[in-house]
Amino acid sequence: MVRRYTRKTSRGDYSTEQVEAAVKAVLGGLKLTEASKRFSINKMTLNRYVKKLLKDVQGAQEASSSGKVIRIRNKAVVIGYTKTKRLFSAEEENFLVGELKRGNARATSDDVRREAYRLAVKLQKEIPKTWTKSEMASYDWLTSFLARRNDIAVTYKRNREQHKVSSR
């Protein structure tokens, strides 16, 4: 499983202004193919944005984590790719870090994962089945959490056990 995706192309990466102008042109009467050529946007991509706009999109501001949202005729459309779904908001992650720092000086990876599970259950978040089965967050979640948050120190249980064996 890929833990850190890096985008390698600029395909489909259109500016908000570019898409907004193209959509307004199509709604103003310009043919779709002509608008796609004029604004250098793929025809099917432009068609999708026009359809999205014509169909009332509710809550697009919350659905977008990339911040690329246009508003035309009091309707919102998300443009481009959005970031992956995150379980906790920034405030909730700050609360989790505070709880971990308050609990003990150096938390183990299992402590962090268990505390994240408890917080998710307490906040009634939609969590994966594997979390419920093991009653702790997944290792993938932990690695992405630690990549985002470098203000918390975590001890890995495996490294501690190896250190005990090598010190004998």
59-83 residue pLDDT tens: 444 444 444 666 665 666 666 666 6
155 with 106: CB under 8 angstroms? yes
In whole angstroms, give the CA distance from residue 115 to residue 112. 5
DSSP-assigned states of every residue in 126-159: ---HHHHHHTS--HHHHHHHHHH--SS-EE-HHH
Give the pLDDT confidence score for residue 29 in this predicted structure.
87
Mean pLDDT of 145-163: 73
In whole angstroms, give the CA distance from residue 67 to residue 93. 20
Q: Which amino acid is at 79?
A: I
C-alpha pair distances (Å), 16 with each of 6, 11, 90, 102? 21, 15, 25, 43
Give the pLDDT confidence score for residue 48 in this predicted structure.
87
44-56 residue pLDDT tens: 988 888 887 776 5
Instruction: List Cβ neighbours of 141 (8 Å cut-off, separation of 6 or more).
Output: 87, 113, 116
Give the pLDDT confidence score for residue 53 in this predicted structure.
76
Q: Rounded to two decimals, what is the model's pTM?
A: 0.52
